[in-house]
Amino acid sequence: MSDKDYTNNEEEEIVEGTVEDTTKEEKKDKDKKDDDEYEKVCTICHRPESTAGKMVDLPNNITVCNDCMQRSFDAMTSGQYDLSQLLNNPNVQIFNMGDMEEQIPKKQKLKKKKEAADVVPLVDINNLPAPHKIKANLDEYIIGQEHAKKAMSVAVYNHYKRVATNTMDDIEIEKSNMLMIGPTGSGKTYLVKTLAKLLDVPLAITDATSLTEAGYIGDDIESVVSKLLAAADNDVEKAEQGIIFIDEIDKIAKKKNSSQRDVSGESVQQGMLKLLEGSDVEVPVGANSKNAMVPLTTINTRNILFICGGAFPDLDGIIQERLMKQSAIGFGADLKDKYKEDPNILDKVTLEDLRNFGMIPEFLGRLPVVVTLQGLGEEMLVSILKEPKNAILKQYQKLLALDEVQLEFNDEALHAIAKRAMKRDTGARALRAIIEEFMLDIMYEIPKDDNIGKVTITKEYIEGTGGPIIKLRTQNVESIATKGKSENE
């Protein structure tokens, strides 16, 4: 799957669109057809047609379900109120149901379910992007993390295949949810975001920090599925084949030494169990809380791929402790300190370590694929500065190029920046902050002087012992001019 493919498709669509829109009549028809794709929703109780049954159509686009209709009749005929006196009551205003039409925006309407035969898998099995192609695409943006990129590519490829076959026979391909562990700023979120750009299955990226057990302040656990539904244009079938990435999953670890009910930790993990495994969940359409007056729908999560990611701070300490305990017994005793400095210690993670961190076994059991990302070393940070398609350096070069100034960084300067970033311990995130700091003066000074043609950032400038090398536009011209003179003489 290359970028070219995408643009081609887009162009085709645009051409089709202009042909279709030639006459107004046809456009009207199209609008109507668009509306037909959505389910009707009861104006009073906000349930969609699929749950509430056939709707009664009233003028002004009002639709009311049978239950609400019956209830209104009952209220009117029970004789409790003298309806003729109603309008004399100072607190009663005539309320026009026609105004309510606008109350249910399209984003809260559900697409109609298709007949079983009409369900088309989102992807064509013959046109699947192979894992190595997915990875090659990721390579353009993400430096290092080879294992994670490989595992992700395979997981996504298999997900495509499962969706494409969509079989219900004996050999059902089961999904394998993933857990992604890596230090802060090592590219977890970035990896998934980049993947999202390349895919055409719906993908929702959500965050575990705000999740709480149902009924407490915060987002319900089902809200993650609700986001996927939104990403799939409220089309339930599409959403049921999507991918959900839950970031910051370590933030729902069991709280230690807490006597209160752990509504945002252990309970959330428990609440997520049935979701991960595959079950029918009721989700609100177009909102993240069931308490809002919005239609609900049922989504089966059996085919939804879940990827959970988190930094798991202090997990390395837990692994070290375990390894040291093991090596303290018997022959390995002298190797005690060998794990202290191991940069790839996360690779040695076991389920036991994660359990000690505060994840419950049932939760871990539902995430069979565990992928670890490495902390970024100096060389990798230098590569991140200059190599990816939208590398930070390229961004600054482009900014200055608009002023017709050339920007260059010495290799030594790049290493000095990477060294500084390593000290901050925030991974690749530190790079941007550091460069921002140094570039401030340069971005401020350069537009002052029209003569500047090229700026070279040096190691001395980064370390504070010197300045950048600045070349004037005239300097090049001069040197050529003098050269010409000397030749003449």
Ligand X SMILES: Nc1ncnc2c1ncn2[C@@H]1O[C@H](COP(=O)(O)OP(=O)(O)OP(=O)(O)O)[C@@H](O)[C@H]1O
Which residues are near ligand X by CB under 6 A? 142-145, 182, 184-190, 311, 384, 388, 427-429
Between 206 and 297, CB nearer to Mg ion: 206
Residue appearing with tokens 């009311």: 64
Q: What gap in Å lies between CA 315 and CA 348, rounded to an integer?
A: 11
- Range in contact with Mg ion (rule: CB under 5 A) among 23-31, 70-78, 181-189, 193-201: 181-189
Rounded to the nearest angstrom, the gap between the alpha carbon of residue 442 and the centroid of all alpha carbons in its chain is 34
Between 30 and 429, CB nearer to Mg ion: 429
Between 209 and 300, CB nearer to Mg ion: 209
Between 308 and 452, CB nearer to ligand X: 308
Q: Is 136 exposed, middle or buried (0-12, 13-18, 19+ CB in 10 A)?
A: middle
**Which DSSP category does 128 fall into?**
P
Residue 242: name its binding partner from ligand X, Mg ion, none (Cβ under 5 to 8 Å by kind).
none
- Range in contact with Mg ion (rule: CB under 5 A) among 115-123, 182-190, 424-432, 446-454: 182-190
Between 134 and 236, CB nearer to ligand X: 134
- Range in contact with Mg ion (rule: CB under 5 A) among 118-126, 186-194, 286-294, 394-402: 186-194
- Nearest distance, CB of residue 354 and ligand X, angstroms: 16
Q: What gap in Å lies between CA 482 and CA 315, rounded to an integer?
A: 65
Long-range residue pairs from 386-394, CB within 8 A, at least 24 positions apart, any chain: 386/414, 387/143, 388/140, 388/141, 388/142, 388/143, 389/140, 389/141, 390/141, 392/431, 392/432, 392/435
- Nearest distance, CB of residue 191 and Mg ion, angstroms: 9
- Nearest distance, CB of residue 315 and ligand X, angstroms: 12
Between 405 and 428, CB nearer to Mg ion: 428
Residue 458: name its binding partner from ligand X, Mg ion, none (Cβ under 5 to 8 Å by kind).
none
Between 265 and 427, CB nearer to ligand X: 427
Residue appearing with tokens 């395979």: 154
Q: Is 209 in the site for Mg ion (CB under 5 A)?
A: no
Between 69 and 391, CB nearer to ligand X: 391
Residue 311: name its binding partner from Mg ion, ligand X, none (Cβ under 5 to 8 Å by kind).
ligand X
User: In three state form, how does the secondary structure of 411-423 look?
Assistant: HHHHHHHHHHHHH
Q: What gap in Å lies between CA 288 and CA 401, rounded to an integer?
A: 44
- Nearest distance, CB of residue 191 and ligand X, angstroms: 7
Cβ-proximal residues to 215 (8 Å cutoff; 6+ apart), any chain:
none
Residue 186: name its binding partner from Mg ion, ligand X, none (Cβ under 5 to 8 Å by kind).
ligand X
Q: Is 189 in the site for Mg ion (CB under 5 A)?
A: yes
Q: What gap in Å lies between CA 397 and CA 16, rounded to an integer?
A: 39
- Nearest distance, CB of residue 461 and ligand X, angstroms: 23
Q: What gap in Å lies between CA 382 and CA 238, rounded to an integer?
A: 41
Between 182 and 202, CB nearer to Mg ion: 182
- Nearest distance, CB of residue 195 and ligand X, angstroms: 12
Q: What gap in Å lies between CA 143 and CA 380, rounded to an integer?
A: 7
Q: What gap in Å lies between CA 112 and CA 36, rounded to an integer?
A: 8
Q: Which residue is nearest to ligand X (CB)?
A: 187
Residue 427 near residue 184 (C-beta atoms within 8 A): yes
Residue appearing with tokens 């149902």: 214
Structure tokens at 196: 């999202």
R_g of the chain, CA atoms, integer Å: 30
Structure tokens at 228: 């996927």
Helix (H) or strand (E) holding 245: strand 243-247
- Nearest distance, CB of residue 429 and Mg ion, angstroms: 9
Q: What is the largest CA-CA distance in the chain?
A: 117
Q: Is 383 in the site for Mg ion (CB under 5 A)?
A: no
Residue 289: name its binding partner from ligand X, Mg ion, none (Cβ under 5 to 8 Å by kind).
none
- Nearest distance, CB of residue 186 and ligand X, angstroms: 5
Between 111 and 188, CB nearer to ligand X: 188
Helix 429-445 vs helix 378-386: crossing angle, to nearest 10:
50
Between 189 and 410, CB nearer to ligand X: 189
Q: What gap in Å lies between CA 241 and CA 202, rounded to an integer?
A: 8
- Nearest distance, CB of residue 252 and Mg ion, angstroms: 15
Residue 131: name its binding partner from ligand X, Mg ion, none (Cβ under 5 to 8 Å by kind).
none
* Size of interface with Mg ion, in residues (CB under 5 A): 1
Q: What gap in Å lies between CA 234 and CA 226, rounded to an integer?
A: 9
Residue 428: name its binding partner from ligand X, Mg ion, none (Cβ under 5 to 8 Å by kind).
ligand X
- Nearest distance, CB of residue 309 and Mg ion, angstroms: 7
Structure tokens at 232: 């799939």
Q: Could you list the residues that contact Mg ion (CB under 5 A)?
A: 189
